[in-house]
Structure 1
Amino acid sequence: MKNWIGKWLMFVALGHTAVAIALFSNGYREVMAQGFFNTVHTEKIGLAVWFMLFGFLLFIAGMLVQALEKHALPIPTAIGVAMLLLTVLGVALMPTSGFWLVIPAIVAMFRKRRPQ
């Protein structure tokens, strides 16, 4: 599979979002019951919202990487570096999290940068 990095990031993002729904379904119900707008008033609801939003952001990043791969364009080094820094920070702060799942994509991004 030649162009898999963006697809992998989107897959991880979907898994992240599924875990968010499983862990925080009561929080999301509470947000909807309160009318959605201006409903993040507790740490628990804030955690639930940020957990979900991070999944969406990772999915967007995956779509962008997929588009670059599809058109045989290089993935900018800055994207790989930023993902590496974010992942290292995430693993350091939460070693039992799913941040580890992003490492194969980061390694592949840097390997693609080298002439073949």
Structure 2
Amino acid sequence: MQRWAGRLLIAVALGHMVLALGSVLPGLRTLAPDGLLGMIGAPWGPPQPEQHAAFWSSLGSFAGVQALWGLWVLAAAREGRQPVPGSGLGLLVLTALQLILAPISGFWLNLVPALLLMAAEARVRVAPPEAAS
């Protein structure tokens, strides 16, 4: 379960970045004449909502952190240990907050890895202790 949760976290993050960058890159010269990082603009300049939305939906999104989270979960599974206890609940709470802010979004996809992580954590809690060798 834990490996599937990690894989799904990575897949959702990569899918998000592909779709977000696919929608941003064709209009990049209009959105950010100074390049992708120029989308944020100078903090003292006038607000540019189109540029800001393009940045925060692509490079500034949670996708990079989510991919790292998935890699961390996979690494823990390969080593035969659980990630930090409560990481499934943490992901569930984060996903719930994201869904409150953007109910029509792909955040719904994060419910599956959150529930898988919670199930893996519950399995560890109810497993009998290993016999000492």
TM-score, normalised with respect to structure 1: 0.82
What CA RMSD, in Å, does the superposition of the two structures yield over aligned residues? 2.2
Check 1:60–1:93 CA distance in 2 against 1; reply closer, same or farther (3 A cut).
same
Q: Which residue does 1:91 correspond to in 2?
A: 99
- Rg larger for: 2
Check 1:19–1:78 CA distance in 2 against 1; reply closer, same or farther (3 A cut).
same
Ranges in structure 1 where 5+ consecutive residues have no aligned partner = none
Q: How does 1:53-64 map to 2 (within 5 A)?
A: 53=60, 54-64=62-72
Q: Which residue does 1:47 correspond to in 2?
A: 53
Equivalenced residues, count: 115
1:77 is paired with a residue whose SS is: coil
Report the AA paired with residue 20 of structure 1: A
Q: How does 1:1-116 map to 2 (within 5 A)?
A: 3-26=3-26, 28-29=28-29, 30-31=31-32, 33-35=33-35, 39-41=39-41, 42-52=48-58, 53=60, 54-114=62-122, 115-116=126-127
Q: Distance in 2 between matches of 1:23 and 1:13?
A: 15
In percent, how many aligned pairs have the same letter? 27
Check 1:39–1:51 CA distance in 2 against 1; reply closer, same or farther (3 A cut).
closer
TM-score, normalised with respect to structure 2: 0.73
Ranges in structure 2 where 5+ consecutive residues have no aligned partner = 42-47, 128-133
Q: Distance in 1 between matches of 2:36 and 2:112?
A: 36
Offset from partner CA, 1:4-26 (integer Å, 9 cap, x none): 11111000001100110122224
